[in-house]
Structure formats: C-alpha cells, structure tokens
Amino acid sequence: MASSDNPRNSILRLVVGIAAVMLILAGMHIAARMVNMVLFAGLLTLLCIPLLRWLQARGVKRGWAVMLICLLVLSVVLLFVGLIGISLAQAAVKIPTYQEQLSANSDQIAAMLTQRGIDPSAFVSTLQSAALRLFGIISGLAVDLTGLLVNGAFTLLIFFFLLADADNLAARVSKIIPADSPILAATGQAASSVATFMLILTALNLIIAVLDWLFLLVLGIPHAFLWGVLSFVFGFIPYIGYWVSIFPPLILAFAQNGAMGVLVVILGYWLINGLIGNLVAPRFYGQGLKLSPAISLLAVLFWGAILGPVGSIIGVPLTALIKSILLENYGETRWVAAAIGTGNGEDVP
C-alpha cells in the first residue's frame, strides 16, 4: 500500500515545489528593486572578501581593513557616477544637434538608395526609431539620475553591513549547519568559484572598456567615456551585451560621419570586443561556472524578465550559485544540475 502511494506523493511534492518556486519568483519580481540591491550588494561582498582576507593576512586589523575597502569602493563609485552624470548631462543637451546631423546623413543615404531604385522608407524609419529610442534613454537617465543615486546609496549601505558582518555570519551559519554538511561545503566552493569568475571577468571587461574608450576617442565620437562605461557594464551580459554596447556609438558615428563612420566603429568593436569578449570570455562563462552556453544565455533572459536589467547582469553567477548550492545537493534535482551543466554532466557529484 505504501509503495502505491509513492508515485502520488512524488507528484504532490513536485507540484508543491513548482508552486513554491513560482511564488518565490513572483515575489522577487514584485520586490525587484529591493532584491536587486541585496543581490548586487552580496555579489560585491563576494568580490571584496578576498581583498579583506589579503589585508588581514598582512597584519591589518579587521575593522581597519573593512573601512579601507569601503572607502575604496565608495571613492571609485563616486568618481564613476560623477563622470557618468556629467557625460549624460552633456549628451542630453546635444541631442537636438545629433538629431539634425542624423537627419542630414539619413537623407543622403535615402537619396542614394532612391537613385538605385531602392525604396529607402524602411531604412529611414528603422534608423529614426533606433535614434529616438537611444536619445529617449539618454534623456530619461539624465532626468532620473537622482533615483539611480538613491538606489546606489542603499546598495552600498547594504554592502558595507554585509562586508562588516561577513565573518560573524559565517560563524553563525557554522553553528546551525554541521561542519561536514555537503551544502556548507558546496556553498563555500560555489562562492569562491563565482568570486574568482567575476574578478577575472571584471578585469577582462575593464580592458575592453578602456580599449573601446580610446578607440572612440581617437575617432572623435562624442561621449566616448560614457560608451566605454557602457561596454564595461554590458560585458557582464554574455552574448547579448556586445550588441547593446555598440548601438549608441553606431548611431553617433552615423550622425557624424555617415555610413563610413559606422563601418569603422563596427570593425574596431569587432577587433576589440570580438577577439577578447567572444573568444576569451565564453571560456570563463562555460568552464568557470560550469554552465552550458545555452543556459548562460537563458539565465540572462530569465533573470532579466524577473529582476530587470540588473537581473541580466547578475543572472549567470546567480544561476551558478543555485546550481551548485541547491540543485547538486538533492537527489530529486541533481538531474537538473546535470542538464544545465557543461559537458556530459560529470561535473555534478
């Protein structure tokens, strides 16, 4: 009799589990703003813990080490926010000029297409729609900069408390969960892997962003620093981020130099972002976090739908943490971990 109830119980557990996951995801979507701040602060804490350990190993007291890291992070954030704010304000003021240049160059291309018997209406409407979207985003960010600063301030505050409480949190967890627990070991290994992956990816994105900035600066593309920062941020989004980051420079290159400017920007970005971002970075996406390329892309889309743009940025490491900590340590979900992993699933214990 008991054996006949097992399938029914399994189905019931599955239904309850799916319902619980759906409720959690719905709650995360509703509270996306707060969830994003907490997740981003947690990820930043993971990145800074190795630096905290390094300072402590060299005799710096823990309190001073935490304070030094917080001051360093705060200084970098304030510097970048200031530069980005200035660039956004300058770009918003010059939008009418860019629109006039864009219209003049699009008219030239339309006339050339008409002479060759090609209807230019589709080209012109697509270009105008893309330009309006870009200029609308720039204007919106320039106006809503205060809201972004408030969110950033709360995120930094959460980060400061998490970093200061990191050791105490680990001690409290060790009292609740046995030291030989596989989940505790998996959590430590997953956190270490994600931190290493994010540090390497941050370095790669920084190199790409600096090269993009210098390249656009040489070409005379307006607000090159802003597009370099965009390249850095969207470098954390696999496969999609490259196409988003190249979009604004292409519009401005066309406004200034026409079709030839577009070709030069495409070639430069292909050499810089293509060689580094598409040849080197995917190895870290696949092997560093043990997620298949398809799952990395789906993670970007899925978490982007749940949490918005921030979800797209942290979607891959978040999925890797869920896979390593939860899916791999339960028999009922181990097959899911194997399915979304790399290779033939041998990385799943």
Per-residue pLDDT 10s for the chain (349 aa) are 444 456 666 677 778 878 888 998 899 889 888 999 998 898 899 888 888 888 988 888 888 999 999 999 999 888 888 888 888 888 878 878 877 877 777 777 777 777 777 766 776 677 777 777 777 777 666 666 677 788 888 999 999 998 888 777 767 766 776 666 667 777 777 777 788 888 888 888 898 999 999 999 999 998 899 899 989 988 888 778 888 888 889 888 888 888 888 899 999 998 888 777 666 665 555 556 777 778 888 888 999 999 988 888 888 888 888 888 877 777 777 777 788 876 555 555 5
Cα(33)–Cα(308) distance, integer angstroms: 9
Please tell me whether residue 35 adopts helix, strand or coil conformation. Answer: helix
CA distances from 50 to 39, 46, 199, 290 (A): 18, 8, 10, 21
pTM above 0.95, yes or no: no
* Helix-helix angle 121-143:95-115, to 10 degrees: 170
Q: What is the DSSP string of 300-315?
A: HHHHHHHH-HHHHHHH
Q: Is the dihedral of CA 54, 60, 63, 67 positive or negative?
A: negative
Name the amino acid, one letter, at 231.
S
Long-range contacts of 339-347 (CB under 8 A, 24+ apart): 340/291, 340/292, 340/295, 341/290, 341/291, 341/292, 342/286, 342/287, 342/290, 342/291, 342/292, 347/290
